[in-house]
Every structure is written in C-alpha cells, then in structure tokens.
Amino acid sequence: MDVKFAKPKSFYEIYERKPGANKEGIHYCPGCGHGIIHKMIAEAVQDLEIQDRTVVISPVGCSVFAYYYFDTGNIQSAHGRAPAVGTGVKRTHPDSIVISYQGDGDLAAIGTAEIVHAANRGEQMTVIFVNNAIYGMTGGQMAPTTLEGQRTTTTPYGRKKENEGQPVRVAELIDALEAPVYVERTTLSDVKGRTRTRKAIRKALKYQSENRGFSLVEVLSSCPTGWGVTPVDANQWIREKMEAVFPVGLLRDRAADIEARPLEPRPFVRENLHQLLEIPEPGTGDAQAAAAQGAGEMQHVDERYRNPRIKVAGFGGQGILFLGLGIASTGMELGYQVSWLPSYGPEMRGGTANCSVRVSSDLIGSPIVAETDILVAFNKPSLAKFEPDVRAGGVVFYDSSLIDASPQRDDIEAVSVPATQLADELGNTKAANMVMFGAIAEKTGLFSLEEVRQHLGGYIKKKKLIPLNERAIERGATYVREGA
Amino acid sequence: MARVILKGNDAVVRGAILAGCRVYFGYPITPASEIAETAAYYMPLVGGVFLQAESEVAAINMVYGAAGAGARAMTASSGPGISLKMEGVSYIAGAELPCVIVSIGRGGPGLGNIAPEQGDYHQVVWGGGHGNYRNIVLAPNSVQEMADHGILAFALADRYRNPVFILTDGAIGQMMEPVEFPETVVTPPEKEWAVGVGAARRPNLISSILLDPDELEAHVAKLEEKYTRIVEQEVRAEAYELEDAELVVVAFGIVSRVARSAIEVLRKEGCKVGMLRPITLWPFPEPQLRELAAQERVQRFLTIEMSNGQMVRDVRLAVEGRKPVEFYGRTGGNIPTEVELIEQIRCQTEA
C-alpha cells in the first residue's frame, strides 16, 4: 500500500467524537479551507514530534469541532477567547504547545482584545487565523474582514465603509506590536500559496517548540457555501478580490534575533510556605495565646475608655491609617478582638484619610465606627466632620500644631497635643502619629507604654525606625502627663 | 498558632496559596484590587503565576484554560467586573472545571459606588451567566473566614469540579482583623481529566458543547445529580441564640455581625431573638430554616440585607409560607448601625 498519503498520526484514525454514521469524513463543506489547514497542522505536529504536548483550542465558528479530528489535548473555548484560554494553558504548562485556531469573527470581532494582548505579551503560542471574509457557521453574516461591497446576510446591499467600516487587516495589526516573533499572511487559492501556508504553519509551530514567542499565520481561505459560489470560483475570488485587500507575504520573522531558550523550571513550592507568605509558622503564638487568656474584660482600663470605638482622621500622608493599624495590632498582640477599616477608593484621593478601629474584649460586630468613643483628629476638616459623632463623655485628641480651633462641644473631653511640632523637635515630622499614640496610651490606659513599645515590631517593617518611634511614643506620653 | 492582622482581600489569597493555588488572573477594580496585588506579590515567590489580564472577560477565560490544564486557579473582582465574568463562569460550570472566584460586593446598579453592598446576591447565587448551572457560594463574614474560605473553596471546587464563589463585600475585603492560618500545606490532586503534557493527557477534551439535544439533556441531568449531592452534603450555617428564639433573623456577611451585636443587646432586655447566618448561600440552608419554621415558638423571620431584598426570596422559599418573612434592607453601600437594627428587630417583634 502506498503510505505516501497516509493520514497524519496527529489526526484520529476514526473520528469517534463526530456524531452521525460517517466517522471518517469531516464535517466541513466541499471546497472549504478548514480541512486543508487542519491537515497542515496535523502534519506539522507529527513531524515536529510534539503531539503529546500539543493542546488545540477550538474556537466558536465552523472549526468549533476541530477537536473531532486532532489527536492532541483539546479545549473548546468561548467566542473570541481562545488566546486567553491558551494563555491559561500555557502559563500552567509552559512545556505544552498551544495552538489557538480562530476564524475572522472570533479573532477579529468579538475577540479583538484577547488576540491583541496575547500578541503584545509575546505569549508563547501559535495562532492560526482563518480569514474567509464571512461568518460561516451562523449562516453567512458579515465578518470584520468582509470586503467592501461584499454581500452577506447582514450586508444585503453590500458592505459600505460609511456604515460598517473597512475590512480589518489582522496580520498588519499584529505586526504593529513589538513582541510577536513571526507574522505571515498566506493563501489557499493556488498550489504555490498552499505550499507557502504549509511552511508557515510548520515554522510557527517550530518557533513555539523552541520558545521563541508568539506567532500568527493568517490564511486566506474559501467559504463556497457562505459566498454562494463553486469551489473553483471561490479560489478565483480569493486571488482577485481578497488578495488585493489582504496582501499575501511575510510581515515579520524575528526568529534570528531571538535565541531558542530552554524553559525555566517553575517548581511547586511548598517548603517554608508560611515563611514565604509572611504568616506565623506552625508552633508559634504561645505568647499571644497567653495574652488572650489574661486579656479578660479590660477591667484595668478606666470605664470611659473600655472597648473603645476609635476614629483616626486627617490628611493622606500623615500616617493616619498606620496609627490605626498600630492601635489594632497592639490590641491583637494583647489578646483582644480588634478590627481596622479604612476609608478606601476615591475617598482617599481628595487628600483626607480616616479609619475606624475597634479594640474589644468581645466579638466585634460592625467594624465601622459611627458613634465614637475616641476621636483622633490631625486636621481641621476632620475635627469638624467627626466631632458630632463623638458620644457624650467621649474624648477627642487633636493635633494642636495644625488645628487652630478646639472642639466646640462641652460634653466631651478634649486633649490637645501639638503632635506635629513635637515630632519635628524629634527630627521627623512623620512621627507625629506615634507621638499621638503615646498620648492616647497615657491618657486612656488602654495599653501601657511598655506594651506599645514591645509590639512596635509587629507592624513596623523597617526595624531601624523603631528607636525613633519609641522616642515619639515617649514624647507624646510625657506631654499628656506633664502638659509640656 | 499566632495571629496576624490582615485585610480580608489579603487573607483570602494567602489562604488560597496554602491550599495549593498557584495561578491567578485578574483585573483591578475597587474594592477588590488588593486581591490581585497580594497575588502579584506572593505568586512569584511560591513558583506561581500572576498575570494582570486585559479585561475581566480575558481573566476568567485564562482561569478556564488554567483550570482545564489542571491548576488550582483563581480570580477576583467586584460588581461590574463580576458581571463581565459571567460568560466564562457558565463555560466553566458547563465544562465542569474547578476554580475559585472572589466577589467583593460594591454598590450598584451600573457604576454605582465602591461602598460595601450585597446587591450581587442574585447574579452570583442564582447564576448570572446563561444556562442550567449552579455555583457553590461561600459567604465569609470575617477576615478569618476569608482565609478559611480561601482554603475551603478549592477543596469544594475540586471535590465537585464546579466553580466556587466567595461572595462578600467591600467592608470584609478592606478591613483588617487578626487571622490564624492552619499548619497544613496542600499539594493539589493530580487531575487525570485535564489537558496538559504527556500521552496520558492527550485523549482529554475540555468542552461544554453538546449539539445533540438528548446528549445535552443527559449532561444537564448529570449536573443536576451533582448539585443534589452538593445540596445534601455542603450546606453550612451558623446558629446564634436560636434555642428559644421566637424571632429568627437571617443575615449573611458584614451585616450579620451588626445583627449579632444588636441581638446581644436585645437578649439582655429579654427579647427572644436569634439568628441563622448562612455560610453557604448555595447550597442555601433550607433544611435549617424549614425546621425553624416548623417550630411552634418561632413566630416570624426577619431577613436583613444590604440590598433591595435578594436573599429574602430564598428564605421565603425555605419557609414555604409557614411563618411571615419580613425584610429590612439598606442599599447604596450603607451598613446599618447596631442602633438601627435594634430598632428594626424590636419593631418587628412587637408588630
């Protein structure tokens, strides 16, 4: 038997997935280009010996059933999303060979974003783009590549550039990007074109197997059914009409500039995972557990400041959120329930920042502090905005070096601390928030100064800043104690 | 083990990595962006993949590809971004792929705002995408549960080959609380059905297309059979002060915490009120509600949500008209205060 024309091994011998009685023929119409392109891909996969690691992505369109035929891994994807799906496969298995097989509606209309960005990332995949200037599967509607004047079921009077725009030249579009290694447009309209197409597909797959990057081969292909012509006339139409709009030829081959590179191994890391994730490692936490045992009902704290609902507010950059975090983090280390909630999003852009902090011996319900026991204000607008929320008998700490007014209400306690000025005297304006922390601790007794100092390392990442912060805390406490 | 103070959006990622997630695709959106940022920071350190996709649509399809290739894959978004992902979620459910999607609720409809809301209950719990499918939906109400559910979600996703949502809101995502992580480090199971590399993987097909009506019907029936198993085995809910409750509050997520504080106060005043907090929104804790509805002492239910009343329909379906089901909701991104809920709950009791 003559084996010269044997079916490539990367096609199934029998198409078991194909419904109906005929398990050996293909589902494409006579004269359609898909079958030819499939065969070229299958031969290349076989010859490059990549069958066991190839994953073909079937798009939406007539080639939605490509998985009937390819004896490779197969994924069927949503309309236009094949390059994104391929990205997911390739990033999971960098040693796989991903073929994104797409038609013109799929790639150049609904999937425009996916193809452009996969190409722009230089995603290591091969895109075979079948351009037949029409939506075949849905019954002959206009494609982004439909020619001007071409009649389709949705351009019954012919495509007009004033209404539908002009055909999208995909190969040129992709060639405008930096990353792709190889872009070529070929045609199936004659023997020369088919030879060229066969070579282009092999080259694109070879480049992927060498990890040289993203390739796209645009193939001008016929759809006699959709066009309403014979297969012979269809080829003539490609030659005369399509090739005039979509010039055939090599747009880019940068393989010579890109070294074939071996894959970087990406091992699944599970050793020291807690350390890498910066979370407590197994076997730690006895100190906290002991603290939790002793935390009790906060009996040592004056009743006015027990289980406080705290609001810290000021300008962005004043360390507002950080002071809140410091209070919450210290509370946690001492075994209390704590919560911290920032104002987030656009609210932050206006230059004001605030956070709600709760420290409690009981489970915390809402992390939002509306009625406030302790307000810490670092600028005038914050004092004005949040003073009304302070409960009768609550306390307001305010930075008197920046706020030239005192709280208006007489049913609350006001503690003026020139935190910014004191921080300046310590040599760093940014320590104003920690000056205030010292003042809060001294005044309320919520934490002792020693407890605040002891747990600084829990939330200050730069250890060299700890001495400055210790001085700031001490200074704030002294100010409250001695009034200067 | 020691506790560490983290944002909910951060804790869910670190939990997921402990659970063997090594692939993350996402797109920035407030108030969910820290999830992508945390993944971007840690994934490269643990041999994982982080990629900022060109769109929400691309991100969920990258998840489809990675899940189809056997990875424990994850994405996250909020309101409008979740809407965009729904096409992909339907494909993932149809192809029976496991994955985890975190939805950090914000105010809607439309661009709405970025404050915490629960108005995405319908789209996440009841489907959102096209066709006959269900999502498993977890509803954490603390940063601790964000971490725990980041781990649990992958176990459920793989057990049932089904998308799992973690549905919460901007407050839980943005707030910091102490978290304790488990010691266990998970190596994900080998998935024989996935595509990938090697002759053994070659016969595999990931697909959701079944042209033949009978074949598709059989597939849907198979999914239904799976969903029945999930309903039987995976309902999770927390009961609070329900032993003698005459009024049953039903609330999930952030507002369940405010309700709990309100109930605590009302209990001290002698009001016999308790709460059922769904931890899984699907499967919904119907058996628990049905049983409560059958109790003679239970006089009514009050569903409290930060939406226009979405979960309340599930509560009514479960109660089957046996007892009145009232609703109190806030929208716009407002979290009701404790005082507000005390008034609402009391008023309902006296009504």
Distance from CA of B87 to the nearest CA of A (A): 8
Do residues B12 and B35 make contact, with C-beta atoms less than 8 angstroms apart? yes
Q: What percent of chain B has pLDDT over 70?
A: 99
Q: What pLDDT, in 10s, does the model give residues B1-33?
A: 789 999 999 999 999 999 999 999 999 999 999
Same domain for A311 and A446: yes
Look at residue A265 in the predicted model and tell me its pLDDT.
76
Which residues from A are below 8 Å from B183, CB to CB?
A: 274, 282
Within 145-174 of A, beta carbons closer than 8 Å to B belong to none
**Residues listed for chain A:** 484
Residue B321, number of CB atoms within 10 A of its CB: 9
Do residues B291 and B245 make contact, with C-beta atoms less than 8 angstroms apart? no
Q: Is A7 part of a structural domain of the chain?
A: no
CB contact under 8 A, A89 and B66: yes
Mutate to test the interface with B, among A106, A279, A456 (most CBs of B within 10 A): A279
A366 touches chain B (CB under 8 A): yes
CB contact under 8 A, B201 and A344: no
Work out the burial of residue A22: count CB atoms within 10 Å of its CB; fewer than 13 is exposed, 13-18 middle, 19 or more buried: exposed
Where do the structural domains in chain B lie, given as residue ranges?
4-233, 237-350
Distance from CA of A276 to the nearest CA of B (A): 7
Distance from CA of A292 to the nearest CA of B (A): 11
Q: What pLDDT, in 10s, does the model give residues B107-155?
A: 999 999 999 999 999 999 998 999 999 999 999 999 999 999 999 999 9
Instruction: Report CA dihedral (A285, A291, A294, A297) to the nearest 10 degrees.
Output: -110
Q: Is A16 part of a structural domain of the chain?
A: no
Distance from CA of B298 to the nearest CA of A (A): 25
Look at residue B349 in the predicted model and tell me its pLDDT.
47
Report the greatest alpha carbon distance in chain B: 70
Q: What pLDDT, in 10s, does the model give residues A302-316?
A: 999 999 999 999 998
Instruction: Give the nearest chain A residue to B62 (CA atoms).
Output: A88
The CATH number covering residue A70 comes to 3.40.50.970
Look at residue A348 in the predicted model and tell me its pLDDT.
57
Look at residue A293 in the predicted model and tell me its pLDDT.
64
The CATH number covering residue A438 comes to 3.40.920.10
Collapse the DSSP code of B125 into the 3-class scheme (helix H, G, I; strand E, B; otherwise coil) and give the result: helix
pLDDT along chain A (484 residues), means of 10: 78 95 94 97 98 97 96 98 98 97 97 98 97 95 98 97 98 98 98 98 97 97 96 97 98 91 83 95 74 75 95 93 97 95 70 91 91 96 95 97 94 97 97 98 97 96 95 98 90
Q: What is the 3-state secondary structure (H, E, C) of A170-194?
A: HHHHHHCCCCCCEEEEEECCCHHHH
B73 touches chain A (CB under 8 A): yes
Mutate to test the interface with B, among A11, A50, A71, A87 (most CBs of B within 10 A): A87
Same domain for A334 and A239: no
B351 touches chain A (CB under 8 A): no
CB contact under 8 A, A88 and B69: yes
Query: Which residue in the set A96, A276, A329 is minimally distant from B197, CB to CB?
Result: A96
Q: Which domain holds residue A40?
A: 34-257
CB contact under 8 A, B181 and A274: yes
A13 touches chain B (CB under 8 A): no
CATH architecture label of B4-233: 3-Layer(aba) Sandwich (3.40)
CB contact under 8 A, A51 and B202: yes
CB contact under 8 A, B61 and A88: yes
Which residues from A are below 8 Å from B58, CB to CB?
A: 81, 84, 87, 113-114, 117
Average pLDDT, chain B: 96
Residue A7 per-residue DSSP state: P
Same domain for A405 and A290: yes
Same domain for A289 and A164: no
Distance from CA of B168 to the nearest CA of A (A): 14
Domain boundary among A220, A241, A257: A257
Q: Is A271 part of a structural domain of the chain?
A: no
Distance from CA of A350 to the nearest CA of B (A): 15
Same domain for A174 and A79: yes
Domain count of the fold of chain A: 2
Do residues A59 and A137 make contact, with C-beta atoms less than 8 angstroms apart? no
Which residues from B are below 8 Å from A346, CB to CB?
A: 30, 114
Query: Which residue in the set B95, B187, B201 is minimally distant from A73, CB to CB?
Result: B201
Same domain for A292 and A149: no
CB contact under 8 A, B51 and A91: yes
CATH of B237-350 among 1.10.357.10, 3.40.50.150, 3.40.50.920, 3.40.50.720: 3.40.50.920
Structure confidence at residue B351 as a pLDDT band (50, 70, 90): very low
Do residues B169 and B306 make contact, with C-beta atoms less than 8 angstroms apart? yes
Same domain for A143 and A292: no
**CA gap B271, A10 in Å, rounded:** 73
CB contact under 8 A, B205 and A76: yes
CB contact under 8 A, B211 and A19: yes
Q: What pLDDT, in 10s, does the model give residues A360-406?
A: 999 999 898 989 999 999 999 999 999 999 999 999 999 999 999 99
A285 touches chain B (CB under 8 A): yes
Do residues B88 and B61 make contact, with C-beta atoms less than 8 angstroms apart? yes
Mutate to test the interface with B, among A16, A27, A75, A312 (most CBs of B within 10 A): A75
Same domain for A425 and A319: yes
Average pLDDT, chain A: 94
CB contact under 8 A, B53 and A117: yes
Task: Scan for tokens 């797409």, then name that residue.
Answer: A102
Within 29-48 of B, beta carbons closer than 8 Å to A belong to 30-31, 42, 45-48
Query: Which residue in the set B58, B88, B206 is minimally distant from A76, CB to CB?
Result: B206
Asked, colleague to colleague, whether B4-233 and B237-350 share their fold, the answer is yes
Same domain for A377 and A228: no
Domain boundary among A239, A257, A275: A257
DSSP B261-323: HHHHHHHHTT--EEEEEESEEES--HHHHHHHHH-TT--EEEEEESSSSSHHHHHHHHHTTSS
Do residues A103 and A79 make contact, with C-beta atoms less than 8 angstroms apart? no
Mutate to test the interface with B, among A9, A13, A72, A277 (most CBs of B within 10 A): A277
Q: Is A186 part of a structural domain of the chain?
A: yes
Query: Which residue in the set B2, B65, B206 is minimally distant from A84, CB to CB?
Result: B65
A64 touches chain B (CB under 8 A): yes
CB contact under 8 A, A340 and B201: no
Q: Is A6 part of a structural domain of the chain?
A: no
Work out the burial of residue A20: count CB atoms within 10 Å of its CB; fewer than 13 is exposed, 13-18 middle, 19 or more buried: exposed
Look at residue A370 in the predicted model and tell me its pLDDT.
87
A75 touches chain B (CB under 8 A): yes
Distance from CA of B89 to the nearest CA of A (A): 11
Instruction: Give the nearest chain A residue to B208 (CA atoms).
Output: A76
Mean pLDDT (whole number) for B35-50 = 97
Query: Which residue in the set A89, A274, A329 is minimally distant from B68, CB to CB?
Result: A89
- Is the ipTM beyond the 0.90 threshold? yes
**CA gap B40, A339 in Å, rounded:** 25
Cα B39 to its chain centre, rounded Å, is: 19
Same domain for A311 and A219: no
Joined tokens for residue A101: 């097989």
